[in-house]
Amino acid sequence: MRLWLSKLRIAPAVIRTNRPRASSIITTSVTARWNLIVLLAYRRVGEARGVLRLQSVASTQDVARSLPIGSIVIADHQTAGRGRLDRRWESPPGTALLASFVLPPNPLLSLAAGVAAAEACGGNVRLKWPNDLLLEGAKLGGILVEATPHKAICGIGINLAWAPPGATRLSVDRDQLLERVRGELERWSSAAPYAVLARWRELSDTLGRRVRVDLPGSVIEGTAEDIGSNGELIVDGVAISVGSVIHL
């Protein structure tokens, strides 16, 4: 918390990685002007090395969407944090790492981000297909990748000081964890696909288990045998690209 507040200072007009002079803001493109409006709309608690820190925001994903590749948005609190399929992501103010990274498009990004987050958390953190971080079988965090034609917004939520019933948390410093996640994400989002898949298999808590997969309109039960080259889960020989898995 002390580290967080120590970053408080008056923020420049746009993020540091791409800061135009006032005169160029007026004449710049519609997109850039929209970015500026979005940024000015939020109360910031700090900004350092391309990281935009906000106090309260609907979702870090929405702010990140209008920023250039390389940007990171981190918030103390989200009023409408989301998971996949419009599910809610809950966390009281100041209790979690809530970050969105703007990255180049990458079909394996969801798995690569899972690997990166698990490596950053260390210890016994394992991965549940497609996007959960598990600690001793309970959900510690999740990954949400949302793609636009030219970039991917990779949201990562990790519980630190609070977890909902049935989930778990990791007692580590938020800023230190952010730095580790950032480094690991840089590494794994640009790693060769075979390396991402190999490391995901090693960290997986899903492979080898009996699972039930809820698909839109049907349910499959079987053994999670492997992941395919595009990150799909193979259950009894059937490739599943989208769905929610229950470990049986």
Residues near ligand BT5 (CB under 6 A): 59-61, 78, 81-85, 87-91, 98-100, 131-132, 139, 142-144, 155-157, 159, 163-164, 167
Specify the residue, 75 or 197, whose C-beta has the smaller distance to ligand BT5: 75
Q: What is the C-alpha to C-alpha distance for residues 197 and 195, in angstroms, rounded to an integer? A: 5
Q: What is the C-alpha to C-alpha distance for residues 151 and 133, in angstroms, rounded to an integer? A: 23
- The single-letter DSSP state of residue 110 is H
Q: What is the C-alpha to C-alpha distance for residues 87 and 215, in angstroms, rounded to an integer? A: 15
From the CB of 153, what's the least distance to ligand BT5, in Å? 8
Specify the residue, 20 or 77, whose C-beta has the smaller distance to ligand BT5: 77
Residue 111 CB burial class (10 angstroms; 0-12, 13-18, ≥19): buried
From the CB of 113, what's the least distance to ligand BT5, in Å? 10
From the CB of 87, what's the least distance to ligand BT5, in Å? 3
Structure tokens, 163 = 């977890």
Specify the residue, 81 or 231, whose C-beta has the smaller distance to ligand BT5: 81
From the CB of 164, what's the least distance to ligand BT5, in Å? 5
Structure tokens, 106 = 């990458």
Specify the residue, 135 or 196, whose C-beta has the smaller distance to ligand BT5: 135
Where helices occur in the chain by DSSP H, the ranges are 2-6, 22-27, 30-40, 60-64, 109-121, 174-189, 193-203
From the CB of 108, what's the least distance to ligand BT5, in Å? 17
From the CB of 37, what's the least distance to ligand BT5, in Å? 20
**SS3 at position 62:** helix
Specify the residue, 21 or 86, whose C-beta has the smaller distance to ligand BT5: 86
Q: What is the C-alpha to C-alpha distance for residues 82 and 126, in angstroms, rounded to an integer? A: 21
Q: Which residue of the chain is nearest ligand BT5 when measured via CB?
A: 142
Smallest CA-to-CA distance from 233 within 248, 211, 217, 216 is with 211
Specify the residue, 74 or 191, whose C-beta has the smaller distance to ligand BT5: 74
